[in-house]
Homo-oligomer: A and B are copies of this chain.
Amino acid sequence: MSSERLIYLPLGGAGEIGMNAYVYGYGKPGKERLIVVDLGVAFPDMDTSPGVDLIIPDIAWLEQRRDQIEAIFITHAHEDHIGAVAHTYDRLRAPIYTRKFTANIAKRKMDEYGHPEDAVTTVAPWPQQTTVGPFTVGFLPMSHSIPESSSLVIDVAGDRLIHSGDFKIDMTPGVGEAYDPELWADVSKDGVKALICDSTNVFSQNAGRSEATVGPEIEKLLGTAQGMVVATTFASNVARVKTLADAGERAGRSVVLLGRAMKRMVEASLETGVMKDFPPVVSPEEARGIPRENLMLLVTGSQGERRAASAQLARGKYMGLEMKEGDMFLFSSKTIPGNERGVIKVINAFSEMGVDIVDDSSGLYHVSGHANRPDLETLHDVVKPQILIPMHGEHRHLREHAKIANAKGMKGVLAVNGMMIDLSGNEPKVVEYVDSGRTYLDGSTQIGAMDGVVRDRIRMALNGHVTVTVIMDENDEALGDPWVDAMGLPEQGRSKTSLVEVLEADLAQFLGRANAKTLRDDDKLHDGLKRTVRQSANDEIGKKPEVTIVVSRLS
Contact of A457 among B460, B467, B541, B542 (CB under 8 A): B460
Cα–Cα, bound, A45→B344 (Å):
15
Q: Are A548 and B485 in contact (CB under 8 A)?
A: yes
Render A392-410 as a binary contact track against B, CB cut-off 8 A, 1 for contact. Answer: 0011100100000000000
Chain B nearest CB from A483 CB (Å) reads 6
A124 interface residue (CB < 8 Å to B): no
Q: Is the CB of A395 within 8 A of B490?
A: no
Task: Give Cα A441–Cα B443 distance, bound, in whole angstroms.
Answer: 33
Distance between Cα atoms of A444 and B495 in the complex (Å): 12
* A50 contacts the other chain (CB 8 A): yes
Cβ contact of A338, chosen from B340, B348, B394, cutoff 8 A: B340
A435 beta carbon closer than 8 Å to chain B = no
Say yes or no for A224: interface residue by CB 8 A criterion: no
State how many residues of chain A have any CB contact under 8 Å with chain B: 64
Q: Which of A47, A454, A480 has most B Cβ within 10 Å?
A: A47
Complex contacts, A226 vs chain B, CB 8 Å:
none
Given B51, B338, B352, which contacts A395 in the complex, CB threshold below 8 Å? B352
A185 within 8 Å of B by Cβ?
Answer: no
Across the interface, A443 reaches (CB within 8 A) one of B394, B460, B541, namely B541
Question: How far does the Cβ of A523 sit from chain B's closest Cβ, in whole Å?
Answer: 16
Question: Within the assembled complex, what's the spacing in Å between the Cα atoms of A382 and B445?
Answer: 64
Contact B442 A351 (CB under 8 A): no
Bound complex: CA A348 to CA B199 (Å):
14
Residues of B within 8 A of A108 (CB): none
Render A429-473 as a binary contact track against B, CB cut-off 8 A, 1 for contact.
Answer: 000000000000011110100010110111011111101010100
A1: Cβ under 8 A from any B Cβ: no
- Report the minimum CB–CB distance from A341 to chain B (whole Å): 5
Interface of A toward B, CB cutoff 8 Å: 15, 45-47, 50-51, 203, 337-338, 340-341, 344, 347-348, 351-352, 354, 357, 361, 394-396, 399, 442-445, 447, 451, 453-454, 456-458, 460-465, 467, 469, 471, 479-480, 483, 485, 487-494, 538, 541-543, 546, 548, 550, 552, 554
Q: List 8 A-B contacts (CB under 8 A).
A: A46-B47, A51-B462, A442-B543, A443-B542, A467-B467, A467-B485, A480-B552, A485-B548
